Each structure stands twice: as C-alpha cells, then as structure tokens.
A = this chain, B = another copy of it.
Amino acid sequence: MPDARIGVVGATGAVGSVTLALLAERGYANVRAFASARSAGGSVKLGARELPVEEATPTVLAAGGLDLALFSVGTSASRELVPHAVRGGAVAVDKSAAYRLEPGVPLVVPEVNGERAHEHEGIVANPNCCTIPLTCVLKPLHDAAGLRRLRVSTYQSVSGAGARRMEALLAEPQSEHDLTMDWSWDGDETDEESKLRSETRKIMELPELPISATTVRVPVLVGHAEAVWAEFEDALSPGQAAELLAAAPSVRVVDVPSPKQAARTDQVLVGRIRPDRAGENGLALFLACDNLMKGAALNAIQIAELLLGGTPGFPESPLLYA
C-alpha cells in the first residue's frame, strides 16, 4: 500500500499540508505535490523530504502515473481538474463540494458507510468538515434507536476557511474577534447549513431526515465543535448512548469536548450527553473534532486506504502538523 502512487492536489493549502504530513507518517513515499500556478515551482515537505510543487494543469493530471489523486482545492478548481485526473487513470478523492451530491459519486465517511467507496466511477467525495464528525457520532446512535430529527449549531474554527483566514486571525487584535456567518447563501440558509443537511442525509441514507442547522465561525484557529439535539424513534438513555459511542470507531467520549483538546488528534470527541429536556426520546450532546484532520485530510486518506484495499487506520496516530 505505501508504494501506491499518490498525487496531492492543493498541496500548499491548510488541508494539503496536513495531508502530506499524514501520508509521510503512514509511510507513503511515492507522492507528488500539485498546486495552482501561483504556488507551483516551490517545494513542500513529505516528512524529511522536499517535494517539488508541480503546477496542477489538466494536461499534467491527464498524463497518468497516479493511482490516487487527493484533491484539497476549491469547488471550481475541483470541477475543472478532477475529471482530468480520472481520465489519466487515477481515482480522485475530492474534498470540495463539487461532486458530493452527484449520483454515482459515493460520499464517504469510512466508519459510517465505508462500503460505498467501492461503488465509485472514478470519484469519491469527502464530506464537509462538520458532516464528518457529526455522522461518526450519529451512526451508532441511529443504528440503535433510529434517528428522527436533528438540530445542530456549529462553532467552526477559521482554519475551515483556509490558511489565509488563519493568518488574518493571528494578525487581528483579540479585541476585534467576532462571530461570523460568512458563507455563501442558499435561500435563507448558509450553504454550509444546507450542505450539512444534504450530506448527512446522503451518508446516513436517510433522504428525508429533518435537519435544521445554524453554522457559525468562531475565532478559534483549529477545531470545530457542534451542539447537537437528536431525536430518536426509540428511547435512548445518555448512559446507553455513551456506551455505544465509546465502542464506535474514531470516537472518544470525554466530559466536555473542546476544539483545543481535539486539535491534532485523529478522533471525534463527544460529551455533555444528556436528555433533551425540550423533547421526547431526544439527546443533547456536544462534539469537537480537528477539522483539518478527521474533518478533512485524515478522512480522505482513510477513504484512499479503503480504495487501496487496506484497512483504514482508525486508531489515534502520533501528532503530525505543527
């Protein structure tokens, strides 16, 4: 497996850097780095090695030589480039929103619906950074009690908006920090809110699941958190839920999860599990996850490992990015 030929497209971005660190840590050596014309020509680190950054053009990607292409670029760049990588013979694992809801494109969280990855026709999509930890937590609860309704409010770190927003936060005086809802709009919702609904429905295979989300960016550098109210068909006590979650892959039950506690770990932290005092058969809980790791780069590599025929590594790995 570590001899698979892997291309990392968007290698100089926030998620691309974490992807390279994770690949190096897992022993992948046959890696090429691609980026836009602006960033091409420089180099990036693959562990101790320097990799040249090639320009990601349709021609180069269609020329072949890659088994897997991991895309961490914007939606429009993915729309332009992914088909060329597929034409060149690679399976593309795309982290953008470009293909997530397309029929024939599996949208995969390995712990939740890993078996779907093999149904691809060249592209596997990696879900939104809030959807991944949410479905990791909901899956075992749904299997036990049947998910009926979902309300989620998010506390999303600025790294979800890319490396430049991280720099902007670091340069801003603390007294200026604010909450924002700076996504595109999809009617009366942010497109992050509608993504969270449509992606959760697709991954959980619950196409009618009622979901209401409020997505908020907070002045935290790395790590997304979510306050969740979930209603079930059957009664599910907080104790039963904690037991199911403690046994779930990639989930760790803690008292009070926080982004800083989750940052640089492989796992989704979940806690504050209690009855929803505003509804029947409901639970309230709080989760936190490193949005660059399990929320993005790590999930995509776990998809890649499914496709390469191995077992994706779910246990916590040592820490990777600076």
Give me the interface of A with B, judged by CB distance under 8 Å.
149-151, 153, 155, 169-170, 172, 174-181, 188-189, 197, 210-212, 214, 216, 218-221, 223, 225, 227, 229, 238, 256, 258-261, 272, 274-279, 282, 284, 286, 288
Q: Once the chains bind, are A210 and B177 in contact (CB under 8 Å)? A: no
Residues of B within 8 Å of A151, CB to CB, are 151, 229, 276, 278
Q: Once the chains bind, are B211 and A179 in contact (CB under 8 Å)? A: no
Residues of B within 8 Å of A149, CB to CB, are 278-279
Extra inter-chain contacts (8) besides given A180-B258, A229-B229, CB under 8 Å: A149-B279, A151-B229, A151-B276, A155-B218, A177-B260, A179-B258, A211-B277, A216-B227
Residues of B within 8 Å of A238, CB to CB, are 188
CA distance A214 to B273 in the complex (A): 11
Q: Once the chains bind, are B225 and A179 in contact (CB under 8 Å)? A: yes
Residues of B within 8 Å of A170, CB to CB, are 174-175
CA distance A192 to B259 in the complex (A): 20
Residues of B within 8 Å of A180, CB to CB, are 258
Q: Once the chains bind, are A277 and B175 in contact (CB under 8 Å)? A: no
Residues of B within 8 Å of A223, CB to CB, are 178
CA distance A216 to B155 in the complex (A): 9
A interface majority secondary structure: mixed
Q: Once the chains bind, are B286 and A214 in contact (CB under 8 Å)? A: yes
A156 to chain B, nearest CB (A): 11
Residues of B within 8 Å of A225, CB to CB, are 179, 216
Residues of B within 8 Å of A256, CB to CB, are 181
Residues of B within 8 Å of A227, CB to CB, are 153, 214, 216, 227
CA distance A245 to B161 in the complex (A): 33
Q: Once the chains bind, are A179 and B218 in contact (CB under 8 Å)? A: yes
| 11 A-B pairs with C-beta separation under 8 A | A149-B279, A151-B278, A153-B214, A174-B174, A210-B277, A210-B279, A212-B279, A212-B282, A216-B286, A218-B218, A219-B220
Q: Once the chains bind, are B214 and A278 in contact (CB under 8 Å)? A: no
CA distance A25 to B286 in the complex (A): 42
A230 to chain B, nearest CB (A): 10
Known: A155-B155, A229-B212. A221 touches B174 (CB 8 A): yes
Q: Once the chains bind, are A212 and B277 in contact (CB under 8 Å)? A: yes
A258 to chain B, nearest CB (A): 5
CA distance A149 to B174 in the complex (A): 36
